[in-house]
Chain A
Amino acid sequence: MANLNTKYKSENTYDAIVIGSGMSGGWAAKELTEKGLKTLVLERGREVIHNKDYPTTNMMPWEFEHRGMMPEAIKKENPVVSRCYAFKEDTQHFFVRDTEHPYVQDKPFDWIRGYQTGGKSLLWARQVQRWSNFDFEGPARDGFAVDWPIRYKDIAPWYSHVENFIGVSGNRDGKDNLPDGEFLPPFELSAGEKYFKEFLRANYPEREIVVARCAHITGNQEFYAKQGRGLCQNRTLCQRGCPFGGYFSSNSSTLPWAAKTGNLSMQHHAVVHSIIYDEVKGKASGVRVIDARTNEMSEYFAKVIFVNASALNTNLILLNSTSNRFPNGLGNDSGVLGRYMAFHNYRAGISGEFEGLKDYTTEGRRPTSGYFPRFRNVYKQETNFLRGYAAGFSASRSMVTDYSGIGADLEKGIMNPEYGPWRVGSHMMGETIPKEESQVSLDARQKDPWGIPLLRVSIDYDQNDEDMIKDYLVEMAEMFEAAGFKNIRTRDDKRAPGLDIHEMGGARMGHDPETSVLNKWNQVHACPNVYVTDGACMTSTSTQNPSLTYMAFAARAVDHAVKNMG
């Protein structure tokens, strides 16, 4: 028996374990394996192999039975995921359905999940704006959350490291609130967007729109060919999985790269129950894993563990990792774990029409849009609310067809479309304030089919968010009107938090173990061989899309882990 145990232990022992194969887990795996560590990646979902398991990727619109729409029966059974903009007939197989993995909503929260190789990196909107020092200094300056234990200079080289590898299309705009990075050629702004950019320059000199930086390959082909990836072909069907590898996903990039080192082992259907804490050695020794299909539990061991299960699931795993030393969850001496969650406020938007630029249109498709970096409260506090919002901005022109008649009239109308006005639109991306009462916790009674407690989510908007929405709508409407846009319509869709798919926090970084879970290297203060580098680590949310920052944290933390390995 002793021999069997020894054998089991040695067969199940790796140098490193990574929980989760998404955006940040893929990066941890790539960096660990490149540095020579035998690494086990645990993915709770099924296997999705790049270019093999993208069943809809080359389908034509008419090949979808409902032309993209989701049937009512599925929407009715799965109201949460059905509210996600990307959950459509061509992508539905990459989303978790509400019925498959229930959770408890103390307050409405739309939790969007992708349980498969690559996680949500297959599905993301591929926006990769760097954070600036204004973001990392925010909590200290404005007196909320806790001070970030790092500044922009600490992460800047890791942004570069990540950008070079994933491929980022962008323009060098020289803005200190949206730092430039390692860019491949940018996509163009449309004529309508350029008009608005010029209008702002002349009338609001402190405000500017740029083309949003996105994780698409637009140059340096030889370099990306080594990953088996090619140039973006402007299909804008990204969420189906890209046959060209034109956008970054774990599936197309980091995971195959890690596999090539010979140091990667991957397990699918591997639901992590908890992290094992060795009370004698005073550190984590491995993880308990349940096979999603057989319900069998196994244990795997490693010197270092990276938790990249997605923001909420990482909280769940840490909270469920109890021991004598940590009765309230791994590293949770302070009681902060699961608290101070936040997200991005995407509730408001505005649209309008522009009658100018009649001689111009756009052609082809673009996998990104214009981007309005934050202009509120950047250099100093100037409004009645804290922080501010970034915004998407786009202007495009499409053909207008008269569909009013029937019979020969209708057919004639369809044969003779005309250019309509330019349509302009924007949506807000507001920073929200992490608060103690915004939290996730384990349900005391209800468990999932693998015996793991269900996650309870209690996250909501506050007055700061409401004030920010008002300001966004007033400011945008004023700029739209002044720019000569017509038929301006504003909206507040009152969506629940979560639909932004930017939930963050719960295991925040900080200087002080009394008020944070992780240190400046993303190590659990009280259990330093466990690193958390996904959305759970975030101290505040900034306004920028967070994935790039998670990837940079993952690479930086691996570097630290390997340098400090005994």
Chain B
Amino acid sequence: MDRRTAMRQLAILTGGAALLPACDFSEESILDAYSNLNITASHEALIKKLTNTIFPGVHLVKAEEIQLEDFVLVMSNDCLNENQQQAFVKGLKKYNGFCKNHFDREFTSMGQKEAENAFIKSLEIEPGNGKEDVEAIHHFLATTKRFALQGYLNSEYFMTEIQPYELVPVRYIGSKKIEAS
């Protein structure tokens, strides 16, 4: 019996209790802003921790200063197809537990360096014995980084202060000599 079939049968036997890890028993309410994701404020906090880990504000501004966590969640809510969205949410809901298993601490409690290492190491962990959905974790982290990059590079901050976007260029130069810097 493969893992998928085993899980399905277990789910039937226990009346769906096997799906419980994906549920949330805390008293936290679901965030209306991301209605397709079915997530709470602590999940949002995890995304914020991740985006701050990706853009900690050493050479540029920190992710939270441009509300990058909100962009990642808006995109995940609106622009992922069903399968991608399921994997993203699964990864999001399991990531703290995953980090506790592998790195002895929940991701949200880590310091910057520790969090950076955990992020990189998480992506290096091979899908293993089937207890953990490593693929969903990988998908979740990759998606978060992709949207974080997209949101950051297309933010008002970046497109005005770092690499100014020209709405009205008024020119095209086909052969522009590059000046040695």
Binding site for B on A (CB under 8 A): 58, 60-62, 65-67, 69-73, 76, 187-191, 193-194, 233-235, 237, 358-366, 403, 406-408, 410-412, 414-415, 419
The interface stretch among B2-10, B22-30, B97-105, B112-120 is B112-120
Q: Given A60, A61, A71, A410, which contacts B79 in the complex, CB threshold below 8 Å?
A: A71
Inter-chain CA distance A187–B172, complex, in Å, is 8
Asked if B174 and A233 sit within 8 Å, CB to CB, the answer is no
With both chains docked as a complex, state the minimum distance between the C-beta of A464 and any C-beta of chain B, in angstroms: 36
Q: Measured between alpha carbons, how far is A419 from B180 in the docked complex, in Å? A: 12
- A235: chain B residues at CB < 8 Å are 167-169
**Per-residue 0/1 for B16-60: is the Cβ within 8 Å of any A Cβ (1 yes, 0 no)?**
000000000000000000000000000000000000011111111
Question: Are A190 and B175 neighbours in the complex by a CB distance under 8 Å?
Answer: yes
Indicate which residue in B53, B150, B168, B177 contacts A67 across the interface (CB closer than 8 Å): B150
Q: Give the complex CA separation of A419 and B181 in angstroms.
A: 12
- Docked Cα-Cα span, A363 to B179, in Å, equals 13
| Complex interface residues of chain B between 152 and 168 (CB less than 8 A to chain A) | 153-156, 159, 162, 165-168
The reply to whether the CB of B87 lies closer than 8 angstroms to some CB of chain A is no
Partner of A194, one of B119, B174, B178: B174
Q: A191: shortest Cβ distance to chain B, in Å?
A: 4
Q: Do B159 and A191 have beta carbons less than 8 Å apart?
A: no
Do B173 and A407 touch across chains, with their CB atoms under 8 A apart? no
In the assembled complex, which residues on chain B have CB atoms less than 8 Å from the CB atom of A234?
168-172
* Chain A residue, CB-CB nearest to B168: A233
List residues of chain A with CB within 8 A of the CB of B159.
60-62
User: Which B residues are CB-close (under 8 A) to A360?
Assistant: 175-178
B171 touches A408 (CB 8 A): no
Q: How far is the CA of A364 from the CA of B59 in the complex (A)?
A: 27
Known contacts A60-B156, A234-B169; A415/B178 CB under 8 A: no
A67 to B154, CA, bound (A): 7
Q: Which residues on B sit within 8 Å (CB–CB) of A363? A: 171-173, 176
**Contacts between the two chains (Cβ within 8 Å), count:** 121
Give Cα distance in the complex from A60 to B157, angstroms.
12
Q: Does B80 contact A (CB under 8 A)?
A: yes
Q: Does residue B91 face the partner (Cβ distance < 8 Å to A)?
A: no
Distance in angstroms between the alpha carbons of A62 and B158 in the assembled complex? 10
Are A233 and B56 closer than 8 Å at their CB atoms?
no
Closest chain A CB from B38 CB (angstroms): 16
Residues of A within 8 A of B79 (CB): 66, 69-72
B78 x A73 contact (CB < 8 A):
yes
Cα A360 to Cα B159 in complex, Å, equals: 24
Q: How far is the CA of A58 from the CA of B54 in the complex (A)?
A: 31
Do residues B59 and A412 form an inter-chain contact, with CB atoms below 8 A? yes
B174: which of A72, A191, A403, A406 is its contact (CB, 8 Å)?
A191
Chain B min CB distance to A410 (Å):
6
With A and B bound together, what is the CA distance between A409 and B168 in angstroms? Answer: 33
**Least distance between A543 CB and chain B CB atoms (Å):** 25
* A58 contacts B74, C-beta separation under 8 Å: no
Q: What are some 12 contacts across the A-B interface (CB < 8 A)?
A: A60-B156, A67-B150, A191-B174, A233-B168, A234-B168, A358-B178, A360-B177, A362-B176, A366-B172, A407-B58, A414-B59, A415-B162
Residues of chain B with a CB closer than 8 A to A419's CB: 178
Q: Which chain B residues numbered 106 to 132 have a C-beta less than 8 Å away from chain A?
A: 112, 116, 119-120
Contact call A189/B174, Cβ cutoff below 8 A: yes
A62-B155, A66-B75, A233-B168 as given contacts; A188 in contact with B59, CB under 8 Å: no
Q: Are B165 and A60 in contact (CB under 8 A)?
A: yes
**Closest A-B pairs by Cβ, 9 of them:** A188-B174, A364-B171, A191-B175, A408-B58, A366-B172, A411-B59, A190-B174, A71-B78, A364-B172
Closest Cβ–Cβ distance, residue B41 to chain A (whole Å) = 21
Residues of B within 8 A of A (CB): 53-60, 74-75, 78-81, 85, 112, 116, 119-120, 145, 149-151, 153-156, 159, 162, 165-178
Q: Tell me which residues across on chain A come within 8 A of B173, comparing CB atoms.
A: 188, 362-364
Q: Is the CB of A61 within 8 A of B165?
A: yes
B54 A67 Cβ-Cβ under 8 A? no
B178 contacts across to A, CB distance below 8 A: 358-361, 419
Q: B172 is contacted by which of A67, A69, A71, A365 (Cβ under 8 Å)?
A: A365
Residue of A nearest to B154 (CB): A67
Q: Are A415 and B149 in contact (CB under 8 A)?
A: no
Identify the closest chain B residue to A70 (Cβ).
B79
Residues on A with C-beta less than 8 A from B112 are 407
- In angstroms, Cα B85 to Cα A398, docked, is 32
A58 to B166, CA, bound (A): 11
Known interface pairs A67-B150, A191-B175. Does A406 touch B145 (Cβ–Cβ under 8 Å)? Answer: yes
Q: Which A residues lie within 8 Å of B78 (CB)?
A: 65-66, 71-73
Neighbouring A residues of B172 by C-beta, 8 Å: 187-188, 234, 362-366
Residues on the A chain within 8 Å of B176, using CB: 360-363
Distance in angstroms from A193 CB to nearest chain B CB is 7
On chain A, the residues within 8 Å of B171 by CB distance are: 234, 363-364
Contacts of A233 in B (CB 8 A): 168-170
Bound CA–CA A254/B60 (angstroms)? 49
Distance (whole angstroms) from the CB of B68 to the closest CB of chain A: 12
List B contacts of A362 (CB < 8 A): 172-176
B58 & A62 in contact (Cβ 8 Å cutoff): no
User: Hey, which chain B residues are within 8 Å of A410, CB to CB?
Assistant: 54-55
CB-nearest residue of chain A to B150: A67
For residue A69, which residue of chain B has the nearest CB? B79
Asked whether A408 lies within 8 Å of B56 as measured between CB atoms, the reply is yes
Closest to B52 in A: A407
Cα–Cα distance between A293 and B118 once the two chains are bound (Å): 59
Cα–Cα distance between A71 and B80 once the two chains are bound (Å) = 8
Question: How distant is the Cα of A69 from the Cα of B81 in the complex, in angstroms?
Answer: 13
**Residue in A194, A237, A406, A419 with the greatest tally of chain B CB atoms within 10 Å:** A406
CB contacts (< 8 Å) of B120 on chain A: these are: 406
Residues of chain B within 8 A (CB-CB) of A366 are 172, 174
Residues of chain B contacted by A365 (CB below 8 angstroms):
169, 172
A407 and B167 contact, CB distance less than 8 A? no
Contact of A364 among B74, B170, B177 (CB under 8 A): B170
Task: Closest B residue to A187 by CB, please name it.
Answer: B172
Give B61's nearest chain A residue, CB to CB: A411
Contact A406 B165 (CB under 8 A): no
Q: How far is the CB of B138 from chain A (nearest CB, A)?
A: 14
Kindly state the separation between the CA atoms of A403 and B153 in the bound complex, as whole angstroms. 11
Residues of B within 8 A of A414 (CB): 59-60, 153, 162
